[in-house]
Amino acid sequence: MVISANVDIGDIMRVRTPADLGAVIRDRRKQLKLDQAALAKRIGVSRYWVIMIERGHARAELALVLRALDALNIQLDATITETKRRPGAVDIDAILAKAKTAKP
């Protein structure tokens, strides 16, 4: 699954890691000419929380992250992508399905 951050000016950025999301938040905050303290006040968190999320801290509470995105007018879209199997890779799901349907 790939998550894309769509900022209200139409830019779409792929977010694959907490660091990617932190960069999106930091860049948008700067576009809006907000300092970390002003963003923290809008979200209802401490400035330290904003610093940590912008650095890609992986353990941020999801509700607060969503509130931050809303405060910055960033929309998230999740896209499910089909994974491509490597040539010669074993399909364990197919093996298990076949074993379940096989008669002894």
The stretch 88-95 carries a mean pLDDT of 76
Phi, psi (degrees; rounded to nearest 5) at 45: -130, 180
3-state secondary structure at position 15: strand
What would be the CATH architecture of the domain defined by 2-101?
Answer: Orthogonal Bundle (1.10)
Helical residues (DSSP H) of 1-104, grouped into ranges: 18-31, 36-43, 47-54, 62-71, 92-101
Q: What percent of the chain has pLDDT over 70?
A: 81
Q: How far is CA 47 from CA 5, 42, 51, 54, 72, in A?
A: 22, 11, 6, 11, 15
Q: For residue 1, name the pLDDT band (cuts at 50, 70, 90).
A: very low
State the average pLDDT over residues 76-95.
Answer: 74
Token pair listed for 32:
């809006």
